[in-house]
Amino acid sequence: MKTEVVILGAGATGLTLAYELHKRKIPFALLETSSRTGGVIETHRENKFVFESGPNTLQLNRNEVGVLFEELGLQPVLPSENAKYRYILKNGRWCALPSSPLSLVTTRLFSVKDKLKLMVEPLRRSGHFENETLAATVVRRLGQSFLDYAIDPFVSGIYAGDPNELITRVAFPRLYNLEKNYGSFIRGAIHKKFDKTNIKHPMVTNKSITLSGGLETLIKTLEQKLPAKSIHRNIKLKRWKHNKNGLSIEWIENKRAHSLQTNHLVYCGSSARINDFLRTGALRGTELLSEPTTANVIQVSVGFHQWQGKKLDGFGLLAPSIERAGFLGVLFPSAIFSGRAPENGALLSFFFGGRRNPLDELESDTLVLKSVQKILAQHFETNKKPDLFRVFRYQGGIPQYDIGFDLIAQGIERLQNKFPGLHIKGNIRDGIGLPDRIVQAVQFAEQLAQST
C-alpha cells in the first residue's frame, strides 16, 4: 500500500497538517501512539468544573490561525475585560504588571534607573549577538529589574524556562528581529503597529482566547474534518527505512502488522521522544540528535464550589524566580472565561517545576496538595480544601531553545538530506506556542503541495 504522506503524531501540529493536506487532496495517513488525539491538549469536565490540561489559552496573533478558525467555523471566545490585569509576585505581594504608560511610571516592579533606561531604549545602539541569551539581551537594553520582574516570570509562563539559557534569536525571534531590523524594540514595535502592509485577518488579536467547549474543540473539529480511516490510534512503531521508492514504515495496530510505502514521512511527535523515533530507523548508522533540553512541569487544576479567598480579578499570578516562591505561576481560568466553575466558585491552574525548580519535593500528589494549600494560604487568603484537585505531570513537556538548538537544527538538516522525504517537524523547532504549531503545519502543507 502506498500513500503520499505519513504523519507521525496527532497533536495540534500533526492534526493541522493532516487537515491542510486533506484540503489540498493530498493522500495521507496519520499515525498516533496514544489512544487519543490532541497530544498535550485536553479539556476535562468534572464535578461542575471545565478545565484544561496542557495549554489553557491560545494567543490568536497569527493570520494562519485566523484563516484556519474561519475555515473550521470556530469562533474564538475572548477573555473577560479583567483578564488584562496580570499580577507579579514581589516581596510576597501581588503587583499588577503595567498596562498603560502611566502605570509604567508608577509601578513598584521596576527600578527608577531602569524606567529611565527604557525611555532611552530607542536611542541605544543595537547589538548583533547571535547567541546572546534572553537575560543578557534584556539587561543590555532594558535593565535588571525588567529581567527579574517582567521577562523572567513571562518566560516561566511560556517556556517554564530560564532566561539565562534561552537564546533570544531562536526562543523569541520576533523580539530579536525588532532589534536586528529596526535597531530598537520600541522603534520596531511602533513601526510594526503602523505598517500598512501588515494585513491582519479580522480574527487576529493579541488577546489569549479559548473556544466554546475548551481548546479540545480545535482538536475535535480538525478530527471531524478528516476521513476516519486515515487516523490510526494506539499504534506501535516498528521501523521505518529509506528505499529506492521513497520511505517505508511498519507498525503494529490492533495486534496486527501494518506497513505503508510513502514519499514523505513527517515526524510531528513530542520533541522529548525524537530519538525514540530515530532509533526505529532501520538503516545502519541513523544519526541520533543531541538530546533537546526540555522542562519538566507539573500542572494542577484546583477548584472551589464557593470561593472565599482573595478576589481573582485578572489573568493570573506569576512568581519571578528571584522571589523563590516555590511555584511558577497560577492562572485564574474562571476569571478569564465564563463557565469554568460553578457560580461563586473558582478554578485555578497551578504550575510547578520548569528549568529552575526541581520537582523532587513534589513526587507524590499528596505533596503537591500540601504545596498548593500552602500557596493558597500564603498568597490567596484561603485555608479551604479544594473541591477539585487534579495533577498533570509533563516529563520533558516543554522544549527549550537554548545554546544546543543550532546543533539540533543542523542534525535535523543532515538527517533530512540523508533520507530524502523524511521531515522533522513539531515543537522541537519553529516555536512552542499553539499558533507556532499551526503556522508550521500550514506552511509545510503548502510546501508539500507545491512539490507534489
Element at 448 (helix H, strand E): helix 434-451
184 or 271: CB nearest ligand FAD: 271
Under a CB-based contact definition with an 8 Å cutoff, are residues 206 and 174 in contact? no
For the record, the C-alpha cell of 133 comes out as: 541569551
Residue 299 is a binding residue for ligand FAD (CB under 6 A) = yes
Number of shown-chain residues binding ligand FAD (CB under 6 A): 36
Region of 62 please: left (phi>0), alpha (psi -120 to 50) or beta.
Answer: beta
Q: How far is the CB of 276 from ligand FAD (least distance, A)?
A: 6
Distance between start and end Cα atoms, the chain: 18
140 or 225: CB nearest ligand FAD: 225
How far is 308 from 292, CA to CA, in rounded Å?
Answer: 43
69 or 394: CB nearest ligand FAD: 394
User: Of 210, 96, 145, 153, nearest to 329 (Cα)?
Assistant: 153
Residue 342 is a binding residue for ligand FAD (CB under 6 A) = no
Residue 433 is a binding residue for ligand FAD (CB under 6 A) = yes
Under a CB-based contact definition with an 8 Å cutoff, are residues 300 and 372 in contact? yes
User: CA distances (Å), 315 to each of 104, 115, 260, 348, in order?
Assistant: 18, 24, 47, 10
User: Of 330, 362, 361, nearest to 347 (Cα)?
Assistant: 330
54 or 342: CB nearest ligand FAD: 54
Residue 323 is a binding residue for ligand FAD (CB under 6 A) = no
163 or 342: CB nearest ligand FAD: 163
How far is 249 from 380, CA to CA, in rounded Å?
Answer: 53
Among 5, 6, 8, 424, binds ligand FAD (CB under 6 A): 8
Q: How far is the CB of 389 from ligand FAD (least distance, A)?
A: 17
Contacts of residue 249, defined as CB under 8 A and 6 or more positions apart, other chains included, come to: 6, 31, 237, 239, 240, 259, 260, 262, 265
How far is 399 from 376, CA to CA, in rounded Å?
Answer: 29
Contacts of residue 377, defined as CB under 8 A and 6 or more positions apart, other chains included, come to: 383
Residue 18 is a binding residue for ligand FAD (CB under 6 A) = no
Q: How far is the CB of 186 from ligand FAD (least distance, A)?
A: 25
Q: Kindly indicate which of the ranges 9-17, 82-90, 171-179, 340-348 contains the residues binding ligand FAD, using the contact rule CB under 6 A.
A: 9-17
Q: How far is the CB of 46 from ligand FAD (least distance, A)?
A: 18
Three-state DSSP class for residue 323: helix
- The interface with ligand FAD within residues 215-234 (CB under 6 A) comprises none
User: CA distances (Å), 117 to each of 63, 125, 320, 404, in order?
Assistant: 34, 12, 21, 32
Residue 237 is a binding residue for ligand FAD (CB under 6 A) = yes
Residue 302 is a binding residue for ligand FAD (CB under 6 A) = no
- The interface with ligand FAD within residues 25-64 (CB under 6 A) comprises 31-34, 39-41, 54-58
Among 249, 265, 297, 415, binds ligand FAD (CB under 6 A): 297
The Cα diameter of the chain in Å comes to 68
Which letter, b or e, does each residue of 412-451 get, where b requires 16 or more Cβ atoms within 10 Å of its Cβ? beebeeebebbbbbbbbbbbbbbbbbbbbbbebbeebeee
| Phi, psi at 156, each rounded to 5° | -60, -40
Among 133, 301, 400, 427, binds ligand FAD (CB under 6 A): 427
| Phi, psi at 302, each rounded to 5° | -130, 125
126 or 443: CB nearest ligand FAD: 443
* Per-position x/- string for 357-396, each x denoting binding to ligand FAD as judged by CB under 6 A, each - no binding: -------------------------------------x--
Under a CB-based contact definition with an 8 Å cutoff, are residues 84 and 315 in contact? yes
126 or 275: CB nearest ligand FAD: 275
| Phi, psi at 238, each rounded to 5° | -95, -60
Residue 14 is a binding residue for ligand FAD (CB under 6 A) = yes
* Per-position x/- string for 238-277, each x denoting binding to ligand FAD as judged by CB under 6 A, each - no binding: ------------------------------xxx--x---x
* Per-position x/- string for 94-133, each x denoting binding to ligand FAD as judged by CB under 6 A, each - no binding: ----------------------------------------
307 or 392: CB nearest ligand FAD: 392
Chain positions contacting ligand FAD, by CB under 6 A: 8-14, 31-34, 39-41, 54-58, 237, 268-270, 273, 277, 297, 299, 394, 397-398, 426-427, 432-434, 437
